[in-house]
Amino acid sequence: MRFDVVTIFPGMFGPVFQQGVIGRAIERGAIQLHAHDLREHTHDRHRQVDDMPFGGGPGMVMKPEPVIEAVEALRGANPGPVILMEPWGERLDQELAAELARQPGLIIVCGRYEGIDDRVRSALQAREISIGDYVLSGGEIPAMVLIDATARLVPGVVGDPGSLAQDSFVDEMTGWPQFTRPAEYRGMTVPDVLLSGDHARIRQWRRQQAAQRRVPHNKELKKT
Ligand code: SAH
């Protein structure tokens, strides 16, 4: 799967995705990630990507031409859908990440300022995605969240597929408390049941714990 990101800060992506599971997947070629500088698609001397909002108001708006041309330049290499990160978009959850992970690629546009000129959405037939009901200063961190959540569901990215199956939101009985060695540390012990070797009891205990742990405002779990 191939991820192309259009951003005014392409340098933000390298440091984040050189690390850990995603970093190793990129090294192995299981996924590809390319961050592209939006300013490469400006036509003026100042390489301007923003301008004042029609109708007035504070702040600046991302101009349509550089974004549309940047995405068009990627279309040959990446056949996937175009995604605009926007706070008012469709909410990212595990189910949406799983759906996106079945695509051959994604072209992700990161907004800045007051947002992106609305003509971009229709011109690119883009899908808007939000990572939650709060406003960040740019689409780069949201894009990273989307890429991470999606990439780890691409076959071959996470080494042990069993760990995906037991993730929270995937298996309804997950999110249970986890413990590893030492069995006692500063007088804090591990629940006896986990040392019992009785797998039926362990499963039952985990199910109970996971149910108790759920934060009340979390929405109903969906099966992916
Ligand atoms: N005034 C705008 C906020 C723009 S924030 C509004 O109220 O809608 C600037 C950019 O940051 C957005 O274009 C988007 O790309 C990104 N962004 C901010 N919060 C986000 C969120 N919760 N999810 C996805 N993208 C977000």
**Residues 55-76 pLDDT 10s:** 999 999 999 999 999 999 999 9
Residue 222 tokens read as 């969906």
Asked if the model's pLDDT at residue 168 lies above 90, the reply is no
Exposure of 217 by Cβ count < 10 A (0-12 exposed, 13-18 middle, 19+ buried)? exposed
Per CATH, the number for 2-151 is 3.40.1280.10
How far, in Å, from the CA of 114 to the mean position of ligand 1?
7
The whole-angstrom separation of Cα 81 and Cα 93 is: 17
The whole-angstrom separation of Cα 183 and Cα 193 is: 12
State whether the beta carbon of 8 lies less than 6 angstroms from ligand 1: no
Asked if the model's pLDDT at residue 200 lies above 50, the reply is yes
Residue 151 tokens read as 């990439």
The whole-angstrom separation of Cα 108 and Cα 5 is: 5
Asked if the model's pLDDT at residue 42 lies above 80, the reply is yes
* Type and span of the H or E element at 181: none
How far, in Å, from the CA of 108 to the mean position of ligand 1?
13
State whether the beta carbon of 114 lies less than 6 angstroms from ligand 1: yes
pTM of the predicted protein model? 0.91
How far, in Å, from the CA of 32 to the mean position of ligand 1?
25
Given ligand 1 and candidates 84, 136, 140, which is best to mutate, with the most ligand atoms within 8 Å of its CB? 136
pLDDT at 173: 57
pLDDT at 219: 53
Asked if the model's pLDDT at residue 83 lies above 70, the reply is yes
How many beta carbons lie within 10 A of that of residue 146, not counting itself?
24
The whole-angstrom separation of Cα 85 and Cα 109 is: 6
Residue ranges of the chain that CATH labels 1.10.1270.20: 168-223
What residues are annotated to the active site?
87, 114, 152, 167
pLDDT, tens digit, 9 for 90 and up, residues 104-118: 999 999 999 999 999
**Nearest alpha carbon, ligand 1 atom 3:** 114
Within 8 A by CB and 6+ apart from 30, the residues are: 154, 156, 157
Q: How would residue 213 be classed by pLDDT, with cut points 50, 70 and 90?
A: confident
Over residues 185-197, mean pLDDT: 97
Within 8 A by CB and 6+ apart from 214, the residues are: 175
How far, in Å, from the CA of 187 to the mean position of ligand 1?
46
Number of the ligand 1 atom closest to the C-alpha atom of 134: 22
Residue ranges of the chain that CATH labels 3.40.1280.10: 2-151
State whether the beta carbon of 7 lies less than 6 angstroms from ligand 1: no
pLDDT at 220: 55
Asked if the model's pLDDT at residue 224 lies above 50, the reply is no
Taking domain 168-223, whether its CATH number is 2.60.40.10 is answered by no
> Which amino acid, one-letter code, is at 64?
P
State whether the beta carbon of 90 lies less than 6 angstroms from ligand 1: no
Contacts 24+ apart (CB under 8 A), 37-42: 37/7, 37/8, 37/10, 38/6, 38/7, 38/8, 38/66, 38/67, 38/70, 39/8, 39/66, 40/70, 41/65, 41/66, 41/67, 41/69, 41/70, 41/73, 42/66
